[in-house]
Amino acid sequence: MHNKITAIAIIFCLMHFTQLLLAQKTPQSQNLDQIFAEYEIELSNNPSAVVKKLLAAPVNDNQHELAAQYHYTLSYAYLNLVYPQKSLTAANQALSLLQNQQPAWLYNRILITKSQAMELNGQANEALPLAKQALSWAESQNNETSDQQKMIIDALIALGYIENTLGNSVAALEALMRAYNMAPQTDAVNTKSAIASSIALVYEYRRENKLAIPYFEEAVQYHRRTENLLELSIALYGLGRANKNLGLHELGKNQLLESLEISRTIDDDQGIAYALKELAPLYMQAEELDEAESMLNEAANLFNQSNNKFMLFDLHKTLSQLYLAKNDSNNAQLNLKLAKQHLNPKRMPIQAISLEELESQVNAAQGLYKEAFTQLISTVGRKQRILSEQSTQQLHELRTQFELEAQAKENSLLSQENAEQKLRLLNEEQQNNKLMLAIIATASLVVILIATELHNRKQQRRLYQLANYDQLTGLPNRTYTLQKLKANHHKLKPEQFIYIVMLDLDYFKQINDRLGHDVGDQVLNQIGQLCRQHIVQPHIAGRFGGEEFLLAFFDSSVEEVTTIIETLRQHASNINKLIKTDNNTACPPISFSAGLSSCQSNKAISDCIKNADLAMYQAKNAGRNQTMVPES
């Protein structure tokens, strides 16, 4: 009887294990239930409507996977509305319904959303491993489906936001630029232009607003064209804030006002709050204090609904500054206390210092000058400590050693009756020690400042490279190529020409499919080397996307351009000899199709590129491995 029961249990376990394997291999397991998939599409435009629909039709938690999808979708909707605590609660509920973290695709989707909610909730350090875990899982899948690519892009965006919040701007930009390069141009929520806003935020966080603006503008143009009002309001908010930070107050104000108007139209409460928070200081500068006060109070009420501690801290700090301007020290003190309630000094050290500076101003306004001075001195010291934790520790040890020595000397003086001479000598020694300490501290600060400046310059160079150049080929990326082309086009005289060539590798997909993406990457890298070798200034060569390249020639004839293209073609045909494959399979000869068009100052660059692109497709249709000009 015992053996029979054991056999039945083994059979049941095998059946259950087989069922799990089949569930993981079924294509349907990679997709949300149809109703929730439809909600995902609506989420990018009107998340508040999705929340209302979900709350009106809850799913029984006994249906574990379906209920997990329900709570995941609700979490995603709350995230889009910038309600981090509600999003986090729904994500945790979704995770609790999944047994053994299965299905894995849903579990990791929830992790991505949860990590973003945690970042908004001030838990960026805790969110980082979740985003990395989801990214690692998505990258480990070898099916290369659109769902897998979408999850990798989503995980990279989440990772970028978290790294940016943690102050790791280079890591943030690397993640976001990778997502940007993977994303499609159209037919997706996260297109290249949609991700552009996220890249812009990294530059804005570093106060490099000039670098942020082109990416914000790309996002604004895209969302206007697709009529995605929610994303348009977000992109306009970022663009307006960047222009405001550059001192273009009127332009920034108009863009923020448009963002506010759109947010009110679609009932995006948090969008309204963010726009009001950013507009209020502009009204304060214009001394329209009552209008600014009304805006800040409305924003505070909306941020209270989402329990957004970061924004509530910022708002009450700004309100405190406003009341100082209105000579209302009591309300300034009240809002200072409210700001402190939303401050986490360990996670927000810079904000903690700025609040202490404000507190010293409030104390001074209330006549507490001694407290104000003490607070200000403390703040200055803390600012210096934040420059470098290591150097701070060294300075602290020096100061502690000095104080101990001074105390020991003072005790020694008190124990001696005839100590005037010794006291004078010790005082002189003490002054020398103070001078030495000051010299050491000054030298340490100088070293810190020099190291910080060198580090910042290195980071700026790295960020510039990431923003403007394709990492695989070493050529300018699409955005930077167009910028350089437009700049040269503006300088054209009426009788001058630019010759534009669109170049596309033949049968490149077959190389990727048959030999693998590593071989495809080697081919692209070799093409990039050829372009850099044979196309030099003032001419331009850039990677336009995938296996497509844009070449531009200035002060050249058609014959000269054709000669360069054919030189490239000849060298490209020998690239296969340099390619290494895993199984020593021979790589076929590389060829490309090219389209050539001419452009003068009276023609739009976009039309010239379109003509070259058309000619390139004519070359493809005519048998490939040739160069053609547009048909008249």
Asked whether residue 453 falls in the same domain as residue 532, the answer is: no
The domain boundary, picked from 438, 465, 492, lies at 465
Same domain, 461 and 482: no
Domain-embedded: residue 415: yes
Report the amino acid identity of residue 73: T
pTM, rounded to two decimals: 0.51
| Whether the predicted pLDDT of 81 surpasses 50 | yes
Whether 416 and 550 map to the same domain: the answer is: no
Closest by Cα among 88, 127, 83 to 347: 127
Residue that finishes a domain, picked among 413, 443, 465: 465
Asked whether residue 564 is assigned to any structural domain, the reply reads yes
Residues 508 and 408 in one domain: no
**Integer Cα distance of 315 and 461 in angstroms:** 35
Query: What range defines the domain where residue 609 resides?
Result: 478-628
CATH assignment at residue 55: 1.25.40.10
Q: Average the pLDDT over each of 19-33, 210-224, 276-290, 452-466 and give the range with the smallest value.
A: 19-33
User: Within a domain: residue 243?
Assistant: no
Mean pLDDT, residues 596-619 taken together: 93
Whether residues 460 and 499 share a domain: the answer is no
- Asked if the structure places residue 561 within a domain, the reply is yes
Kindly give, in sequence order, each residue whose CB lies less than 8 Å from that of residue 325, ignoring residues fewer than 6 positions away: 284, 289
Residue 54 in domain: yes
How many domains, in total, are found in the chain? 3
Of the pLDDT bands very low, low, confident and very high (cuts 50, 70, 90), residue 324 is confident
Domain boundary among 190, 221, 239: 190
- pLDDT of 359-408, one tens digit each? 777 777 777 777 767 766 777 666 666 655 434 444 443 444 445 455 54
Asked whether residue 438 falls in the same domain as residue 504, the answer is no
**Residue predicted with more confidence, 39 or 153:** 153
| pLDDT for 3 beyond 60 | no
CB 256 within 8 A of CB 236: yes
* 433 and 554 belong to one structural domain: no
Gap between the Cα atoms of 160 and 176, Å rounded: 5
At 584, which CATH number?
3.30.70.270
How many angstroms separate the CA atoms of 497 and 98, rounded? 63
443 and 548 belong to one structural domain: no
Question: Does residue 307 sit within a domain?
Answer: no
Residue 340 lies in a domain: no
Residues 450 and 502 in one domain: no
State the DSSP string of 55-100: HHS---TTSHHHHHHHHHHHHHHHHHTT-HHHHHHHHHHHHHTSGG
Average pLDDT of the residues in 153-166: 87
Span 492-541, pLDDT tens digits: 898 889 999 999 999 999 888 888 888 899 999 999 999 999 999 889 99
* Judgement on whether residues 420 and 492 belong to the same structural domain of the protein: no
Buried b (16+ CB within 10 A) or exposed e, 263-293: beebebbbbbbbbbbbbbbbbbeeeebeebb
404, 527: one domain = no
- Work out the percent of the chain whose per-residue pLDDT is above 70: 84
Kindly give the interhelix angle for 349-365 and 309-325, rounded to the nearest 10 degrees: 20
Whether residues 180 and 138 fall in one domain: yes
Residue 369 covered by a domain: no
pLDDT at 407: 56
Which ranges of 415-502 would DSSP assign to H, the alpha helix? 420-468, 478-490
